[in-house]
Amino acid sequence: MKFNFTLEKLLDFRKENEDSLKQEYMNLGIELSLKEKRINELLSEKNNLMYAIEPTIGRMQIQRNYLDEIDQQVSRLRLESLKLQQSIAGLLERLVRAQQERKVLEKLEVKQKNEFETRLAHEEQKELDEFANRKILKGGENYE
């Protein structure tokens, strides 16, 4: 007789859901890291341009416009990063909940398996006792 966990499909579903959330969490973390890297690159480029002296007014205006564009890009990326951080925080809560739900089922599975094995051992012992009793009743040898 083999143990069969009645909620195995639900446990599998919860494991798949947890794995999916982990993958999504990793992807958002990578996306956030890339945005932070891009922000640092833009700020470094801006810092380098701040100390560059342009010889003409026209070039200075072009430089000023470019610096303003960098500021706008940095602001946009920071806003996107903030939204990503919020998404990551929400996803982390969902992931923790998914892990807890999976662990509850795993503990239930262990408990049911232990109960099954105990019941099986009792049944086997009962059969052995009955077999020994039949042998004694039929005049078989008594091993005391």
DSSP code per residue over 26-85: HHHHHHHHHHHHHHHHHHHHHHHHHTPPPSSHHHHHHHHHHHHHHHHHHHHHHHHHHHHH
CB 136 within 8 A of CB 41: no
CB 77 within 8 A of CB 33: no
pLDDT of residue 140: 56
Q: What distances in angstroms separate CA 14 from CA 7, 47, 98, 144, one per listed residue?
A: 11, 49, 7, 53
Give the model's confidence band at 129: pLDDT under 50 very low, under 70 low, under 90 confident, else very high. confident
Mean pLDDT score of the chain:
92
Q: Which residue has the higher pLDDT, 100 or 137?
A: 100
Amino acid identity of residue 64, one-letter, is R
Q: Which residue has the higher pLDDT, 51 or 46?
A: 46
Q: If you average pLDDT over residues 7-18, what whole number do you get?
A: 96
Report the distance separating Cα 144 and Cα 48, nearest Å.
96
pLDDT of residue 59: 86
pLDDT of residue 35: 97
